[in-house]
Amino acid sequence: MKLLNYINGRFAEPQSGKWFDNTDPATQTVYSQIPDSDSRDVDAAVAAAEEAFKTWSVMPVKKRSDILLRLVSLIDANLDQLAEAESLDNGKPVWLAKQVDIPRASANFHFYATAALHLNSETHAMENTAINYTLRQPIGVAGCISPWNLPLYLFTWKIAPALASGNCVVAKPSEITPVTAHLLSELCIKAGLPAGVLNIVHGTGPNVGAAIAAHPRIPVISFTGGTKTGAEISRVAAPMFKKLSLELGGKNPNIIFEDCDFEHALSTTIKSSFSNQGEICLCGSRIFIERSIYDKFKEALVAKTKQLKTGDPKDKENFLGAIVSKPHYEKILSYIDLAQQEGGTILCGGKAIHPQGRCANGLFIEPTIIENLPYTCRTNQEEIFGPVVTLTPFDTEEEVLKMANSTSYGLAATVWTTNLSRAHRVAAALHSGIVWINCWLLRDLRTPFGGVKHSGVGREGGFEALKFFTEEKNICIKL
């Protein structure tokens, strides 16, 4: 399969005339070719988006909404094909892509196509003097750059609010997982999305991503990815005064108090540790357990983890699929080595897996639990982004808060307790953009989503995202 860029409503070859290989991580075989685009393709996409903006930005919002809702129906109708493509590209189990990734991509468009109908603005009356009202206007061409872990889910999480609020978009999916973005282009054509409203340019971060960040006619950028890349985009974009939303890495704490609902905490901790091979920015990778239940919880968690099956993403029995790419697989294994050098004890997992059959050459790692590490060590401070968690006991609330808040990240945290006062107290004291109490990854798309410290700048979700993609203009009328 040869992928193509989607520019000005049509498929287009990259200007370089070059493609590079796309590999299935479950078998390590090449199965598609990705356009090796560069700044010339981004220029063409920006020109198309600018032209389209002239009509899309002034189109009645109901009409825009109707077009985006046609896309929702098409995503729903193509659930199986999209889920299989996502699994092939990323290595995640097909069942997971069917249950989570693709329904959420549809929900993203549905949510913003309808939310835009309700976006309102403010008026401020100055008694007997004047009245102010605020217009919220689309900004222009938005740049959307997304990562490989939840490919279509996160790609659409940016594109949907940008389009619904009247902007046109130049978007780049991760070069590691581009196929569902390519399939989305086909659906956009079928849905009758006007030419140039959405443009998708495939290629590498240093070529295409950097060209979007540096483009003088892209005034607003929404980025999800690693903290280092986010810093680079800020460095390039800040002197041009671009509006930036940055959703970056995490090293999330999962805090388990003695008075938790043990079975519920246990079963959810399995999911928050190892879902999507631990490659979710919201996974809880540092598990803190109150000392009085440390051994009991540890033993139960290890026993349950040993029952998890890892292997062929097409097999419904497997909870974990393949790791997304060879460099990422090697990075995760190197952190497991590092943990041992730092004095950690591996309680289960810790090794690569070579399943029998068609996935014998695939990139699989056992779900891994490690204990006996100081909270300050690199394994406990740096993002691993794989099926690897550490266990650390604690004695007091004060102590666990100190450890939980000790990293440079602050994306999400999970707290397990039946003490209501403690739940509120701990939630308020955590340095984190999102706190789940007695649950994990329960998402209401209306809520603000994002991190503090090195986990990002700005909030996505709800009206926050529609506001981000619009500029406020106050108009004051003298009475």
Residue nearer to ligand NDP on the CB measure, 110 or 172: 172
Strand 368-371 to strand 388-394: parallel, antiparallel, or no bridges (unpaired)? parallel
The least CB distance from residue 244 to ligand NDP, in Å, is 12
Q: Which two tokens stand for residue 266?
A: 């246990």
Counting contacts by CB under 6 A, is residue 224 touching ligand NDP? yes
Positive/negative CA dihedral, 190, 195, 198, 203? positive
> Within a 13 Å sphere around the CA of 121, how many CA atoms are in the beta-carbon half?
15
When the beta carbons of 311 and 461 are compared against ligand NDP, the nearer one is: 461
Q: Which is nearer to ligand NDP, 86 or 232 (CB)?
A: 232
CB of 209 to ligand NDP, least distance (A): 2
Mask: binding to ligand NDP, 405-444, rule CB under 6 A, as x and -?
------x---------------------------------
Part of the chain binding ligand NDP (CB under 6 A), chosen from 43-51, 123-131, 198-206, 421-429: 198-206
468 scored as a contact of ligand NDP (CB under 6 A): no
The one catalytic residue in 84, 175, 232, 247 is 247
> Could you give phi then psi for residue 73, rounded to 5 degrees?
-60, -40
DSSP string, 167-200: -EEEEE--TTS-HHHHHHHHHHHHHTPPTTSEEE
CA-to-CA distance for 431 and 312, rounded, in angstroms?
Answer: 38
- Tokens linked to 288: 């803190």
- Residue 162's H or E segment, with its range, is helix 151-164
Structure tokens at 347: 């309680």
Residue 419 exposed, middle or buried by CB count within 10 Å (0-12, 13-18, 19+): middle
DSSP state at residue 324: S
Question: Any contact of residue 151 with ligand NDP (CB under 6 A)?
Answer: no
Binding to ligand NDP (CB under 6 A) within 373-392 occurs at 383, 385
Q: By CB under 6 A, which span of 90-98, 171-179, 389-397, 435-443 interacts with ligand NDP?
A: 171-179
Work out whether 144 is an interface residue with ligand NDP (CB under 6 A).
Answer: no
Catalytic (active site) residue 281: yes
Shortest distance in whole angstroms from residue 340 CB to ligand NDP: 23
Closer to ligand NDP by Cβ: residue 233 or 333: 233
Residue 456 interacts with ligand NDP (CB under 6 A): yes or no: yes
Q: Does 250 bind ligand NDP (CB under 6 A)?
A: yes
Q: How far is CA 143 from the centre of its chain?
A: 16
115 or 434: CB nearest ligand NDP: 434
Is there a contact between 144 and 156 (Cβ–Cβ < 8 Å)?
Answer: no
**What's the CA gap between 44 and 200, in Å, rounded?**
11
Single-letter amino acid code for the residue at 289: I
Under rule CB under 6 A, residue 84 binds ligand NDP: no
Q: Please tell me whether residue 272 binds ligand NDP under the rule CB under 6 A.
A: no
Nearest to ligand NDP of 153, 294 (CB atom): 153
The first and second tokens of residue 14, run together, are 């990259």
Residue 147 touching ligand NDP (CB under 6 A): yes
Rounded Cα distance between 453 and 412, Å, is 12
258 is catalytic: no
Three-state DSSP state, 258: coil
Specify which residues 178 forms β-bridges with: none
Beta partners for residue 6, in sequence order: 11, 200
- Given candidates 249, 387, 410, 458, which one binds ligand NDP under the rule CB under 6 A? 249
Kindly name the residue from 144, 281, 283, 359 that is annotated as catalytic. 281
Nearer to ligand NDP, 167 or 455 (CB): 455
- Give me the residues that bind ligand NDP (CB under 6 A), please: 145-149, 154, 172, 174-176, 204-206, 209-210, 213, 224-226, 229, 232-233, 247-250, 281, 383, 385, 411, 451, 456
Catalytic residue numbers?
Answer: 247, 281
